[in-house]
Structure 1
Amino acid sequence: MSSDQLLARLHRLHPKLIDLSLGRTERLLTALGNPERRMPPVLHVAGTNGKGSTVAYLQALLEADGKRVQTYTSPHLVRFHERIRLSDGLISEARLVEVLERCEAANDGQPITFFEITTAAGFLAFAEDEADYCIVEVGLGGRFDSSNVLERPLASIITPIGLDHQSFLGDTIAAIAGEKAGIIKPGVPVFSAAQEPEALSVIEAAARRASATLCVAGRDWTAQPENGGWRFGDASGALNLPIPALSGPHQIGNAGLALGVLRRLGIAPSPERIVDGLRRVRWPARLQPIDRGPLFELMPPGGRLWLDGGHNPHAAAVLAAAFFGRKLHLVVGMLEGKDAQDYLRVLAPVAASVAAVPVPDELCHDPADLARIASGLGIPASAHADVADALAAGACDEAMICGSLYLAGHVLQLSGLIPD
């Protein structure tokens, strides 16, 4: 049986009623012999935006220092294997099938969500792989996320918090921050990106209750553009560093968060190896240039095509800042339930036009509705059947496909850019 067939079968175990709790994950992990207690030291990452990029920086910096690193991220873009990276690369097909079958047998047909059982599979694979560190990204929220069964990680890390998944996490920044801060554990150091005041106050209160040391960007370290690169500073001194390989001015903040964590924990590489890590870092579908494949060939000579999987107003603000003063043809597809109005409103200053598309095989906003929203914001807009048709409708030398990680995965597959 292939992993795809096995994963489809596991989907059918989904409970009819979902209660936000860790009970099902804890039950399964106990049946598996608690592999989460045998994992390497864990860096646990929550937040609304920048989680994946922060994971990528942590991984790249540690690997530049010769460390063996595992990562757990979600969702995947093209193949499920992307979620579980062992010390020697993405989990193999044979190993993935093995751990999934063991989890299925231990679960014994009981109701469990897809994310819960696959998180258990990831933790089982990590426990049986030799590595120095494991970096675990929260799937949704934090307090009741399956990854929050980790009892004592090496550090709890919180990236920028914004409005997203309001139906699960609450409709205010403070409420969402409370869910994210749920990963804070007694005595475990906490590291936070710069936050809006209402989010930071919630994180500070949670850290106090847990007697956990809190370090915050802008207070305990700084990361600022300078002389074509950027300057990092903390109590240990200052570093002048090159711009990271990931595109966008916001990546200085993500890289600074990762470096702030590693320096404070005493496990940062030498300055020379930090530079090497920043140059080698990779994270697909985050302001990623698409420079080959059938979609790129639809661009005019000398044109540039970008891909970004951000799907909320905070992510849109990052894109608007990255392309300030430029005009793009935006190809936009968004999942049902996402805030298309605010997402497009924030992007309006850099939008020459919007071509709305469906997200293949997903419940999504009707392209005609997206086009109407964009038109109402004063952006010339049209609806299209697919990305290729939408790109061909643009009149700009620069275009960006955005609005959904699932759409981004579809684009990467079409372009032959399979994450490895």
Structure 2
Amino acid sequence: MKQKIIRNARIVTATEEFTGCMVVEGGLIRSLERGGTSVSGAEDWQGDWLLPGLVELHTDNLEKHLVPRPGVLWNAHSATVMHDALCAAAGIITVLDSVVIGDMDQGGTRSQTQHVSIEALHECRAEGLLRVEHLLHLRCEVSAPDIVDVFEHYADDSLLELVSVMDHTPGQRQWRDLGKYRRYAERYGSFNDAEYEALVQERRIHQERFAMPNRAAVIAGSRARALPVASHDDTEVEHVEQASEEGIAISEFPTTVAAARAAREAGMGIVMGGPNLVKGGSHSGNVSAAELAQLDLLDIFSSDYVPASLLQSAFLLQDTAGWSLPKAVNTVTRNPAHAIGLTDRGELAPGLRADLIRVRMSGGMPIVRAAWHRGERAF
């Protein structure tokens, strides 16, 4: 069985950073040691960082390829393959493609893409077209009338690893600011004032009627299948308390410091978006990831809508929050993997999967020079 030997690499484990060498064989990490090696054929990394392959729990990047322009639906297989290539180039070796289910727009874009995207994901995997491992994250819009039926349709999907419950009704959670919500709602076309008010009223009626029973049904269905569940956009302490009582272990994108503190006290993992840190704040006007990191109220980063932000966020944590590189790297590798029960990856240690990335700084930013999935070159 062919070995791959790496030397002169800046190895980042879950707890420390050192210059050393690594041996990979059979898709696994066989050994890693400090110092050099005299073995012939060892690959000299010239001081580049050797990190675990990144683990992504929530990305909307596939959707951007499926709908490259408002009203334009792209071929799902082509979109999936291009999304996969971008993930590999960003160092993301395990990616949970987040697919929104539940139609709030009554025939809108997401209702048109939810089924074809999941079908294409399975077919591209089966045909061996993908460079990295793609799994599934179902984002369940609990105010949507059809959410329970769609959830039950996909709840036993073999790729499903995470379910999140979310409520994007205007006036609460992510969209407390109705002005920002209007700008978001008009991304595909403007409303007059009467049309906008009618939209908001309809969303609120749906929330009052459907949100609580739908949320309970999705959580019960997930628990019955031992699927981890995340609560999306927790804003009030009461939101976190509700999630904790429901047995939810992940708070995804809390919008306030108070919610993040409550999540920490409840023992929930706290997820924030990489673009929030890279761009210096939330595009929705919510709490900044930098502030939560400085308060040590952050466990996991998601690249959200920019795959490259995942690696960038880990390195930025050193400057914005004074974190060590191993602690920062854990937010994009070990922590997300363990949050959904994937304990065979996410760190550099003997016996774990050889999901690896080679990183070098350029222009003040970390750049992925190469990536491996189970020891096989992916980028």
Asked if Structure 1 and Structure 2 have the same fold, meaning a TM-score greater than 0.5 normalized by the shorter chain, the answer is no
Which structure would you say has the larger RCO, counting Cα contacts within 8 Å and 6 or more residues apart?
2
Q: Name the TM-score, length of structure 1 as normaliser.
A: 0.28
Higher strand proportion (structure 1 or 2): 2
TM-score by length of 2: 0.30
